[in-house]
Amino acid sequence: MEVVVAAVAWALSAVCGSFPPSNTLGLCGGKPIESLLRGKLSAGAQIYLSGSDGYAKATNRWSVLDAPTTNIVVVPSVANDVSEIVKVANSMNVPYLAVNGGHGAITTVGKMKGGIEIWMDSLNSVKLSKDGKTATFGGGILSKAVTDSLWTLGKQTVTGGCECTSLLGPGLGGGHGFMQGRHGLIADQFVSMDIVLASGKLQTFNASSDLWWALQGAGHNFGIVTAVTSKVYDIEHPDWAYVSFLYTGDKVEALYRSINKYLLQDGAQPVHIINYSFFFNDPSLDPHKPVIMFYILQEGASAVDTVYTQPFIDIGPLMTNAAGGSYKDLPEWTGNANDSPPCQKSGLVNIRFPIDLQVYNVQAQRKVYDLFASATQETPALNGSLFLFEGYSTQGVKKVPHRSTAYPNRPANLLVAPLLTYPPGGKKLDRTAAKLGESLRTILYEASGLKEKYTYVNYAFGDETKQNWYGYESWRQDRLKALKHKYDPLGKFSYYAPIA
Ligand SMILES: Cc1cc2nc3c(=O)[nH]c(=O)nc-3n(C[C@H](O)[C@H](O)[C@H](O)COP(=O)(O)OP(=O)(O)OC[C@H]3O[C@@H](n4cnc5c(N)ncnc54)[C@H](O)[C@@H]3O)c2cc1C
């Protein structure tokens, strides 16, 4: 069968006037591969060619810098479709990339040129197991669908904090979220996965496989997950509350000193507390400098306890807000709901320069605030940028043995990243933004006293080292390389933070 496919591809490449066949897709606008696929896909699968509404929707991305280029979108409706797409693409030597929520911003994905986007959107099923301890999700399910569908069953699991990203995009690289203090990362919930490998073979993996370790932290490198079974939990604490404080920039030292002292507590932040802050520009609040939004989220409460809020009231915020509600309100409160600005795909460049920290260095916080302030004033195109400081509770993450998964930095307390946002178009602006992002994280890294610089793979800019993404221990790197060699020797899945 492979031979027939290759022969047809060859013939079609001749019709299209392209040689070698890897060019066929680009020159013929996806038509030859479309013809090959039509006969192989299930009735529910969709194919979108450039110019169609479906294509526009499927290829719309959160960040447009170094986005992958795609000539055809295929939307599988069953797992076997993914297998067929991979086999056909391999036979034509055409690259392919799984796309889910479309929020993967790492610039390495831009190395996919003229390939097939496998849009996972239709694989969005949810099935609770009989014993209620796990659920099986389609490989294209988005966070909100996970939370909402489980909630109606009295269950929940760890997802990213944002409604619009997928379960697997974050999860394959670890996956931070509001429930991680209780249960660990998204990846820590995985129990088994159905994966289409680079050969096109669909195979089920679980903890008994050598690949399992790598799927929990470096999982974007090995295949396309068509379904994942994850641990789910009874909803123990449906109630959550938040309080937010808006501060002017003169409060930087007081704010981050207090977060260290009253919340982080040397890595002992209470499991029911999350703190989250960001710098941003709003001339109506301060015409010259960024302001700081700071949230405390508390699980199992209808209002955040004063023991946590009083130190931050004492700092003297410009404004405060507070509400009680349920777990499902968290994305909206923190600006991560489907209709919140951070979820939108507005044709902008969105690049982050992450760094894991243990504690806030107060002097360094001042330095990065001042640099963020001056740079976003000097370059008005960067004015919509944010500087994110995420302080989830970490008990669940730390209790998983550090060596047991490819996720490389379980001891971290803080996930920090400037998010530089600007309209695309100028190489000079790209360079200015990248230089700023790098300078900001370098200030924090140098002040941290940390020997190793970890840059969370799902927030990474794209120019970091493999050690920054996957760990400094040589055994980690060796193990990843060996698995890559075994499962994806030709590097078919080497666009998102590639191991090799
Ligand atoms: C607004 C926003 C909020 C975020 N919040 C969080 C958060 O709370 N926690 C967190 O950890 N991260 C968060 N992130 C980062 C997020 O983890 C990454 O951006 C991630 O890549 C998004 O996944 P996606 O499916 O939306 O993007 P996509 O671009 O669709 O996917 C990213 C990559 O994942 C791989 N992939 C996706 N689906 C599959 C699959 N089924 N099988 C195999 N590979 C697959 C592909 O390599 C793809 O290039 C956030 C990002 C944004 C933009």
Atom 52 (ligand 1) nearest CA: 103
Residues forming a β-bridge with 99: 119
Assess whether 290 and 207 both reside in one domain.
no
Domain of residue 387 covers 239-464
Distances in Å between the Cα of 142 and the Cα atoms of 100, 103, 167, 169, 275 are 8, 11, 6, 9, 24
Examine residue 471 and state whether it is found in any structural domain, yes or no: no
275: domain CATH number is 3.40.462.20
Mark whether 379 and 293 lie in a shared domain. yes
* C-alpha 55: how far from chain center: 22
- CB of 120 within 6 A of ligand 1: the answer is yes
- Report which of 265, 333, 248 is spatially closest to residue 295, judged by C-alpha positions: 333
Question: What CATH number should be reported for the domain holding residue 109?
Answer: 3.30.465.10
CA of 255 to the centre of ligand 1 (A): 31
Give yes or no: residues 194 and 295 share one domain. no
In a domain, 477, yes or no: no
**Residue 472 maps to a domain:** no
For residue 117, is it within any domain?
A: yes
For ligand 1, the distance from its centroid to the CA atom of residue 169, given in whole angstroms, is: 3
Top mutation candidate among 123, 141, 166, 457 for ligand 1, by most atoms within 8 Å of CB? 166
Same domain, 372 and 287: yes
- Is the distance from CB of 437 to CB of 107 less than 8 angstroms? no
Cα 198 to averaged position of ligand 1 atoms, centre (Å): 20
Residue to substitute in 81, 165, 496 for testing ligand 1 pocket (most ligand atoms within 8 angstroms of CB): 165
Show which of 94, 122, 150 is a domain's final residue: 122
> Does any domain span residue 225?
yes
For residues 312, 281, 170, 218, the Cα torsion angle rounded to the nearest 10 degrees is -100
Instruction: Single out the residue of 253, 251, 282, 276 nearest to residue 385, CA to CA.
Output: 282
Mutate to test the pocket of ligand 1, among 100, 144, 344 (most ligand atoms within 8 A of CB): 100
| 444 and 303, same domain (yes or no) | yes
CB-neighbour burial class of residue 473 (10 A; exposed 0-12, middle 13-18, buried 19+):
middle
Q: How far is residue 197 from each of residues 188, 189, 476, 488, measured CA to CA in Å?
A: 22, 21, 22, 8
Q: Is 493 a member of any domain?
A: no
Is residue 228 assigned to a domain? yes
Cα 167 to averaged position of ligand 1 atoms, centre (Å): 8
- What are 234's strand-pairing partners? 155
Q: Is 458 in the pocket of ligand 1 (CB under 6 A)?
A: yes
Expressed in angstroms and rounded, the spacing between residue 108 Cα and the centre of ligand 1 is 14
Binding site membership of 98 for ligand 1 (Cβ less than 6 Å): yes
244 is a domain residue: yes
In 3D, which of 415, 409, 408, 418 has the Cα closest to residue 393?
A: 415
For ligand 1, atom 19, name the residue with the nearest CA.
104
User: How far are the Cα atoms of 33, 71, 168, 378, 405 from residue 116, in angstroms, in the given order?
Assistant: 9, 6, 19, 40, 30
Does 225 sit in the ligand 1 pocket, CB within 6 Å?
yes
In the prediction, which pLDDT does 30 show?
57
Is 116 found in the same domain as 208?
A: no
pLDDT tens digits, one per residue of 98-143: 999 999 999 999 999 999 999 999 999 999 999 999 999 999 999 9
Asked if 212 and 243 sit in the same domain, the reply is no
Query: d(Cα 353, Cα 345) in Å, to the nearest integer?
Result: 19
Nearest to 230 by CA among 161, 315, 141: 141
Residue 170 Cβ < 6 Å to ligand 1:
yes
How many whole angstroms from 458 Cα to the centroid of ligand 1? 7
Q: Is the CB of 176 under 6 A from ligand 1?
A: yes
Distance from residue 59's CA to the centre of ligand 1 (Å)? 14
For residue 419, report the phi and psi dihedrals to the nearest 5 degrees: -115, 105
Q: How far is CA 369 from the centre of its chain?
A: 25
Last residue of a domain, one of 59, 87, 122: 122
Cβ–ligand 1 contact at 102 (below 6 Å): yes
Strand order in the sheet with 202-206: 126-128, 134-138, 224-231, 190-196, 202-206
Domain shared by 195 and 243, yes or no: no
The reply to whether ligand 1 has any atom less than 6 angstroms from the CB of 76 is: no
Q: Is 408 in the pocket of ligand 1 (CB under 6 A)?
A: no
Ligand 1 proximity of 220 Cβ (cutoff 6 Å): yes
- Tell me: do 256 and 174 sit in the same domain: no
List per-residue pLDDT tens for the chain, 500 residues long.
Answer: 444 344 444 444 433 333 333 434 443 455 678 889 989 999 999 999 999 999 999 999 999 999 999 999 999 999 999 999 999 999 999 999 999 999 999 999 999 999 999 999 999 999 999 999 999 999 999 999 999 999 999 999 999 999 999 999 999 999 999 999 999 999 999 999 999 999 999 999 999 999 999 999 999 999 999 999 999 999 999 999 999 999 999 999 999 999 999 999 999 999 999 999 999 999 999 999 999 999 999 999 999 999 999 999 999 999 999 999 999 999 999 999 999 988 999 999 999 999 999 999 999 999 999 999 999 999 999 999 999 999 999 999 999 999 999 999 999 999 999 999 999 978 999 999 999 999 999 999 999 999 999 999 999 999 999 999 999 999 999 999 999 999 999 999 999 999 99
Separation of CA 432 and ligand 1 centre (Å): 26
Total domains in the fold of the chain: 3
The DSSP code for 389 is: E
* Ligand 1 pocket residue status of 352, Cβ below 6 Å: no
Asked if residue 144 has its Cβ within 6 Å of ligand 1, the reply is no
159 lines ligand 1 (CB under 6 A): no
Q: What is the pLDDT of residue 31?
A: 61
354 lines ligand 1 (CB under 6 A): no
Q: 340 and 276 in one domain?
A: yes
What tokens appear for 67 in the block? 């986005």
Rounded to two decimals, the pTM is 0.94
**Is 111 in the same domain as 171?**
no
Count of beta carbons in the 10 Å neighbourhood of residue 394: 22
Q: Which of 90, 122, 154 is the last residue of a domain?
A: 122
| Helices (H), ranges, 152-277 | 168-171, 180-183, 212-215, 252-258
Q: Within this chain, do residues 396 and 274 fall inside the same structural domain, yes or no?
A: yes
- Say yes or no: CB of residue 97 within 6 Å of ligand 1: yes
